Structures are given as structure tokens and as C-alpha cells.
Structure 1
Amino acid sequence: MTEQKVKKRGWVKNAAIIFLAVMLVLTFFSNTIMKHSLPEVAAQYVQSGSISAKIRGTGTVAANESYEVKSEQSREVLSVPVKVGDKVSVGDILLHYSEGDSTQVKEIEAALDALVLEYKKSLINASASGDYAAEKRAIELAQKALDKAKADKSANAVTAQQLTDAKAAVKKAEAELEAQNDKVTELTDRFSKLTEGNDNSSEIDVKSAQISAAKSLLNNMKSLSFKAGYDNITEWAQAWMEIDKGKAGTLEDYKAALAQLLAPCINSDGSLLTEPTVLAGTRPADLEYNPQTIRGIVDAYTVISTQEQKIALLETELNSLYVSDGGGSWDYQTVKQQLKEAKEKQKTLDTAKKDADDRLAEMEKMKTDFETADKAVDAGQTTYEEALYALEKAQKDSGKQQALDELNMEAQRKQIDDKKEELDSLKGGGEGSDVKSKVNGIVATINVSAGKTAEANAVLMTVEVPDMGYGLSFSVTTAQSKKVALGDAAEVTNYWYSEPLTATLVGIKSDPQNPGTNKILNFKLQGEVESGAQLSIALGERGGNYETIVPNSSIRSDSNGKFVLVVVSKNSALGNRYKATRIDVQVLASDDVNSAVSGGLTTSDFVITTSTKPIEPGTLVRLADDT
């Protein structure tokens, strides 16, 4: 009995030891499993130091200085030989005006003619006695002479561009005629050599006819008798080439390869072997792999390639019938015909050259006649006015002119003199037929085109002056503008060319769009840049020292504001436990990496920057290096 009790107690003791051992093992493994199921976090200690924030903005590049090309008078534009983006130098022609007077000159001339007419009527209707036939005759003759001079001037108007075109036409005709003369000489020499041999024209004709017939038969094969097979192999070869894009080989090479691969697939009984694996995926979807289609492809390629070889052989035989003189192969009849056609063209070009010379001479004479007529208009106007004044004087001398008429005519004379002075001023200050650049630069805008009228004082085009540099600007808040200073260097963040490009802050002014809240920052650019480009600028604020600085990735926010999560360690029987704890912060300043904050942080706090799973305040976590 006692022995049995001892054995029973021993069994209970052993069972208890085993149970405790099992519980210890399970506890160890459950701790390990739990740790690996927790979110893994990376953390970093709070630091102190300086923060330099960045002010960023985007602006359009524009030249610092531009030259506006304006029209002095209203004139019709003949042509604009430049385009936007062209570089121009001082003296380069920017546009051509049509020949003739401006709209203002024509209007003043018309007004002057009307004043003179009214003055003439006043003279004729004046209550004067006596015979003024001689004076009136002089006025009539002067009027006729003036009208004729104006008609001659109008009839002989020629533009500078027309003269330039006529001269260019003469040079072109000379060059073409000279080239044709050389060709006639070359063909004459060639024909002289060929006439020493035999005329084998009949053999060439026979061989040419054979080639023509063979080509006709080939076209018939491709379009009628073997059209289906020929179209199918062409479509298949093109699809195969597209798949092999980038590899060497022509369409004909792929056709030959297809025929070579498909021919062995046709059995003697008309059935087909399996499609070659090398062609897998190359056959168009609409092309079936069946005996009729494959037989048609192979037969078409065989017959057509044989016919093409026959044509090539015939052409080789034809070429052997031509005579070579070092510059190529020629036959008697061909060279004879070429020489005949060359001489006919030579005659045509000679006539064209004479016509061009005559046209140039005619236009140069018109230019001379125009200048002569222009002087005659001025002289005729003076003669006409003098005749009018002579009649007036004769009437005055007669003592019969009424006081009212005299006052009226005196006012008319003053109007005529004023209008003539205005006309002389416009003619004397005219800008000529061409408008030339006064600066070295790049054409930025063009506001006129050929055939349009350039109004007086209108901006015709704008020329940027690159020598004065380029700049850009953008708007920032007033608070941001106080954190930068003139002369600060900025970084161009979207410029990736090898040449350096720098930006310097040169101006701070009120933003007219938002004068109460914003400022405009103006930057000077130095480097290779073009007007109209969009550039992004980053400008560093002056830095400040802060006691608590954390990575930007550690800052979180919700409806209660911004906060960070710090790792808080807690000891337990199974080891250290780490919990994410919330601390509210306020961001004082930021750069691209870190932010200075205020709140309940110290440099001994360990802030969480990243985690493998979403975490909330109070969540148990494990550190990245805590395995």
C-alpha cells in the first residue's frame, strides 16, 4: 500500500514537470509569433539644427528688352521676308512695302486737290471785271500737265521686289541656258562617237518588244491568273516583316523564304503537313492554312519569280546592245533623239533668256520713268499753283475784287499752303519701300502679312534683344517675399540641358492682381534659354535654428491637427514592448527633407517615420532591427 502511494506521487510530480516545461515552450513561441505579427516601424531620434525652406514658382521666360517696329504711315505690305524666331541684325530688311505713296499722303494729296479746286472756283466766280483769258488758259494748261504727270507716275509704278525678281529671273535664265549649252556639247560629242559604229536599232527594238510582252504577261499573272496566290504571299510576307521589324531583309526576301518553307508542306496527295514552327504567329488572321491557299501561294510565287528571272535575262541582253562611252550605255537612236530634244530646249531657253532681259530692261525703264514723273508731279503742282496765284494777282490789280472774296481766298490760300507743307513733311520723312531692323535680335511677334495694310503708328512686329538678357517672374505671398532678398541665387529645377542656367532675384514688387496679399518676384536668367519657355524656380529662404527637427515623413495629420507618433518602451516579463504614442505638434518651418516643430517633443524622443502596416496611437509595434 505504501509502495503504491509512493509510485502515485512520483507520477504526479513528473506530470507537473512536463506540464510546466510545455507551458514555458508555448509561452516562448507565442511571444515570438506575436512579435512577428506586429507592424514593423522605422524610427529616428528628434534632432536640433537649422531649416532652410524653399519658395517655388513657375514663370514664362521673356526678354528684358524688346524693340517695337512701328509704321510711320498707313501703307500696304508687299511681303514679310522674316518669320517668328529668325535672328536679325541691324540693317536687315524686316518687311517690304508696296511701291507708291502711303494712305496719309494720298489722302492729303486728295485734300490738297479739293482745296485748289475750291480756290479755283472762288477765283472764277470772283466779282472781278476785265479779261483774264490768258491767266485762265495758263491754269488750264498747268492742270493738264499736272494730270499727265500723275498718270505717268501711276502707270510706271514698280516695286523694289519686282526689280529684284526680274534680276533673279535673268540670272536663272542665264544659268539654265549655260547648262543646256553644256548638255548639247556633251550629246554632240557622244553622237559623233556613236556614228562610227553600226546602227543596231532594229535589234534593240526587237529585244525591247520582248521585254514589254514579258512584263505585260507578268502583270497579267499578278492581277489575274495568279492574283489570289500573289496577294496572299505578299500579305503574309508583310505581316512577317512587321513582326521582325528591325531585322535585315526585303519584302522579296520574305516572299522567297515563305515559298521555300511552304513548298515541302504540300504532300503528293494534296494534303498539308503541319505549318512550320518558324512561321508560328506570322500568318495574318484572315489567311487560312489549307491546301488550296498554300498550293496557290507556292504556284503563284514559282510562276511569277520564273517570269521575273526571264525579264531580267532579257534586260541583260538588251543592255549588251548599247554602246558605252565612259559616261553610261547609249544607243544610236536614243542619243540622236536626245540631241534633237536638247537643241530644241536650247532654243527655248535662249528665247526665255531674251524675254527675261527684255523684262528687266522694261522694269528699269519704268523705274526711271516713275522717278521722272514724280519730279514732274511736284513741278506741275508748283506751276499750277503759280498760275492760280497769277490770276488772283491780275484780279487784285484790276481793283474789282470784292473784300469778301479776298478774305475767302486768303483763307483758302492759307489752307492750301498748310496742306502742302504737311504733304512735303510726310514725303520728306517717309520710310521708303523697306523697313529695316535697328537692333540685333530675334523676331518675337509679327502682326502683319502680305497684302494687308499697316496702319500708322501700329506695331508691325517685336524684336527681342538677347544681348540685354532674359528674365521671368511669378507671384508669391507677402510673407514669403519677406524671407528673401535681392541678389539671392535661385535654382532652375526643370532645366536639364548641359549648359548651365542661373537665376538671380533682381526685383520684388506688388502683384497688381492681388496687391494686398501677394508680391511679384523678378529673376534675371543667365545661360542658354529661349523666350516663351516655362521654367520652375526654387529659392531658399534664410535659414533658422530650431530645437526640435523631425523628418517630413514622420508628420501626420487628422481633424485635430498635425501630430507625430513616438515609440514608447515598456518592460514586461516576456521582454520589452513598444507602443506608438501620439504627440501633437505645430510645424514652424520645412525644407524638402525635414520640418522644425513645436510641441511636447524632446531630442530623446524616437519618432516613427515609416511602417509596414497602418498604425494608430496606442498600437503595439516592433522596431525594424528588433527580430
Structure 2
Amino acid sequence: MTNNKRTRKDIIKNVAIVFLTIMLILTFFSNTIMNWSLAQVSGKYTEYGEIKTGVRGSGTVVANFTYTESVKNDSTIKELYVTRGTRVEQGTPLMLLSASNGDKAETLRGEIKSLEESYERALMQRTEYDYTSDEMAIKNATEDLNELLKEREKYSDDYVEKVKLDFENNEKALKEAKDLVESLTLQLEEIAENSEDEQVVLKRADLKRAKEAYDIALEAFEKAEEEFSKATYIDTDSYQSSLSSLYDSLDALETELRYLKEDSADLIKIDEDLKAKERALNSAIADHDKAISDFGADSDEAKAAKEAEEQARAEYDAALLIYNSNKDEVKNAIRSIEAKEKSIDSVEGDIRTIRQRMSNASSENREYESLKKVLDIKKKALDTEKENLDIKQKEYDTLVEKITGDLTLKLKDAKNKKETLEKDNEKLNEELSNVAQVENLDEQIKNEKRSLEQMTYSLEKRKESDKKSKELEDYDLGKQYRVIQEKKEELAALGGESDKGTTLYATHSGVITEVNFKPGEFIPAGSSALVIEVEESGYTLNFTVTNKEAQKLTVGDTATVSNAYWGQNLGAVLKSIQPDSTGKNKILTFELDGNAEVGQNLTLTVGEKGTYYSAVVPKSAVHEDAEGKFVYVTKEKSTPLGTRYVATRLNVTIAATDDKNSAIVTDESYIYEYVITSSTKPFEAGDYVRLSD
């Protein structure tokens, strides 16, 4: 029963809270809600400003004087050089009129013209025979050949034969010397080996033992050298430097992690509390389920477990609320700590790797040092055995020399001769390479001569062919020229050579405004062929205005030109004010000063005056209906829900206006209010509106 009462009270309380919340929201946003459907207006406050008034119009520039170009005799236009709008100078050819000769003379002139054009075209297309590139190639080939011949002159044919003969003789003598040395050496060895002299036998045995000892030492050294070549010495200084740097990085990261944990302790505690409350809730749920299973849902144990679960859930919800309100900060803190710990793990892994490499390097370096010591020992032993072998060999050779006598001297002389011949052979080999170069030069000279002969022959044949082609071209051109001369003589016989027609020239400088005939048409004597507007006579421009606008102007008023070309310095003065054919308008004629162009369209403003007014608004703000002109202004209206704006009609009189603004006059006191110039949709006086931002 008590629980039911508490539930009804909670419901009533919650309903009241919701109602008050809705009312509060409506209070705060009522202005926005009410204004949402209103017309949005833009505008500006009336201001003190200047209104420039004047009469504006556009017209086309014309010259003050026109001249008619006429023909004196009956003529036919052969060629027309100008069109309407062409600007000409005095003396410019305008058209070519037919001459007085008959049709045959006219036909001859046409033929001569056509033949002359063909002749000139043939002259321009005449072949140009240029042999510069061929002659340059022959010149270069000749220079290359001369260079080769100059190089070949260093080696005469006698020199080449002498080098070859000397080399053959030296090779023969060297072979004989080698054979003699080999023969004498074998004889000495045979005598020494067969000698029964006690000292020789002893020395021979000593030499044999020394050789065997040397061979053993050499084999041991080579084996040690092979094993040492497989060993590797690793410089651990770089490892030590890297290790020191990593330890510094590790210290810095651990310090940063410690400070990060200290700074984020509260955020970490929020995360840990949430996890602890979640574990407690899960445990309470499990206990509640177990109590229901063991004792039943209505048992005291189950009720106690349920209260414990609700308590755990409330604590979890509270912890979750705190966590959610700080979720981004908690996640960022955990993410930063995890990233820092990951960096520390990475650095520690690098340290372990380098320490392992250093350990491996130390082991390999110890092996390297051990093998190096063995190699040094073997090298020292080998050197000792080599010295001993050299001593034994020298003792043996000295003893054998005493026994053999003259034979040893012969061997010595043979060896000296062999060495001399070998040195001579080296020199002769160098000279023989020069001989090979000479043979190569001979081959190059042969090829270069053949190429030069071919190039020279080809050029001569080409010149012969071109000469024939040129003679044919000259013959054809001469034939065309003779035909032209014959036609001219025929025309002269008709008396028409000097009568090629009459050219009509411009009498004045100006712009062609009329062309009355086309090429081929007949022009009677005295007819107007062309009309020229003479620019030097000056320029005028006119346009039509209303009688009311004309009343503001006086002859002599200065006008401004608003659309002249860049750099075009133009001025205008009102020359006359004349009524038009209807009598309702006036024609304003202006005299232009400056470098105007006939046919140019200009816009002029005349009688422009500026007057300042106390209330100036944009022209778009002024409206008109049956009651007259008016503007809309906004009036503020206070309401319980805030300030609102009402569009209010303000009747005005337009004192003056220009292209953009109007000066208004009214008896109302709120003329300086905010004037509406545009709106998103129609509205009427008295409607609420909302102002644009």
C-alpha cells in the first residue's frame, strides 16, 4: 500500500516537471516560433545624402559634313576596294572603273594578268640547287683522311719490316737461351744428386728437411688463414651508443608515463570505479538468480539478494553517469597511457635485442681474436722455416758451385743472357703493337679514301642532273615570258596598253557611309558612287528627351560621357534643342570635342546637379498605389514574449531622384526609422515581419 502511494506521488511529480519544462521551452522559444512564418525583410535607415539629377540619353556619333564621290563618265565597276564603315584617308583608292577599250582588249588584259601571275609563281617555285651540306661532308672527310695520313707518316715501311724481323730474331734467341738454361740446370742437378761427396750428401739432406719443414709450415699457415678469413670482427661501439640512447629514451618515457598517470589519476579512477561497479553488479545479479533458484522468488533470501542487486545497479548507474559525462577525457587518458606503455615496451624490446647482439658480437670477436693469434703464430713459424730454407739452399748452392766449377759459370751466363733477351722482347712487343696500329691505320685510310671517292662521284653526278633540270626550267620560264610579251604587243596594237581603267580616289578623309553600286554594275555619268562622312569637319550626337526634361536644360550646357573607350578623352556641349515630329519630345543635339569615332554609340548626361536632402532612401524602398507614394518602416512592439516588429506605411512625397536613391518628404515624425527595401514574401501595412540578420 505504501509503495502504491509513493508511485502515485512520483507520477504526479514527474507530470508536473514535464509540464513546467514544456512551458519553459515555449517561453524561451516563443519569439522564434512566432516569427518563423513571417516575411523576412531587409532595409536601411534613412540618411542625409546627395541626389544628383540630370538628363541622360544615348546616340550615335556622326560627322558634321558628308561628301559624295561621283563619276564623270559612264563606267562599269571592275573592282571595289572599300565597304560601308571603311575608314579612308584622302587619296585612298576607292574603286577601279572600266576603261574605254573593247571586249578584245579587256580579254587580253585578263589573259596577260593570268599569265603574269603564273610566271611570278613559277619564279617563286624555281628550284634552289644547294650543295653546301654535300661539300661540307666532303671537306670533313678530306680533313679526316689527311689526319690519318699524317699519323701514318710517323711509321715508314722499313721501320715496320725491321720491327717484325727484330722480334722474330729475338724470339728465336730467347728460346735458345731458355733451352740452354734448362739443360745446364738439369746437368747441375744430376751432378749434385749423383755426387758421393760427404759434405754434398749432408747439405742435400739438410736442404730436403728444410723444404719438408717449410711445406708443413706453409700448409699450416694456409689452413689457419682460411679459417681466419671466415671469422668476422664486429664493432660494438655503435651498439653501445644505440644502447645508451635507448636507455635515455626509456628514462624519458617512464618519466612521462609517471606524470601522465599522476595528471590522469582522477580519470583513471573513474574508469576503474566503473569496472569495479560492473563486476559488483554482475556478482549481485548472479547471487539474486542463485537465491531464486535455491529458495524461491518470494523468499527472504531472494528479496535480500534483489535489494543488493538494485543497490549494485544504482551504484553502477551512478558510476556510468560519471563515466559518460567524462567519457572522452577518460578514453583519451587511457589511450595516451596505453600508447606510452606501448612505446616503453618497444624501447625495452629494442634494448633486449641490442644486448643480445652485443653478446653474440662479443662471442664472435673472441673467436676472431683467437684465430688471429693462431694465424700470427703460423705466419711466424712459416717465416722462420723460409729463412732456414733460404740458408740451406744457399749453403747447398755454394757447395755445388765449388764441385761443378765451369758448368756453374756457364749457367750463370746463360741466365743473364736470358734475362737480357726477355727485356728486349718486352720492348719489341711494344714496338710490335705500334706495327699493329700502323696496319689498322692503313685499313682506315683505305676505307676513308673509298668513302671520299664515293661522295665526290655522287656530288658530280647530282650536279650534272641538276644542270639539266635547271636548263629545262629556264627554257619553260623563257617560253612563258615570250608569250606574255607577245600578248602585250597585241594589246598595244589595239591601243589599250595605257588604258587599263580609271581609279576613283577619296577626295576627303573620313568613313564610308554609303556604297551605291556593286562590282560589275554600270554607273551613269554624274551618279553618286560613294558617300564619305568627313571626320575633320567635327562630330555631333543627338537623342530624344521629354519636354519636361528639356525645360531643365539650356543651349551651351556641358555634358559628360559615361562610356567612352579607355584613354578616349571626350567632351560634349549642348548645341541645340529642337522639337521632334510629334511635338511631345525634344531632340537634343550635342557637339563633341575629342577623338570620337563615326558610328560610336555614346551615353551622355547633361544638366547634372547635386542637392543634399535630409532623408534619402534607396529607390527600391519607394512604392506607389492609388493613394500616392509611400514607404514601409518597422515599428517595435513590446510583448510579454519579447520585442516584435510591425510593418507600418509611411506616405511620402518624392523631392528628387537619381539612378539609385530618392529624397523623400513626409509630415510623420518617424521618418528616420528603419525603411524596408526588400522582402522574402509579400506583406501589408500592419503585418508582423522579422528582420534579416
TM-score (norm: length of structure 2):
0.43
Structure with the larger helix share: 2
TM value normalised by structure 1? 0.47
Q: Larger Rg: 1 or 2?
A: 2
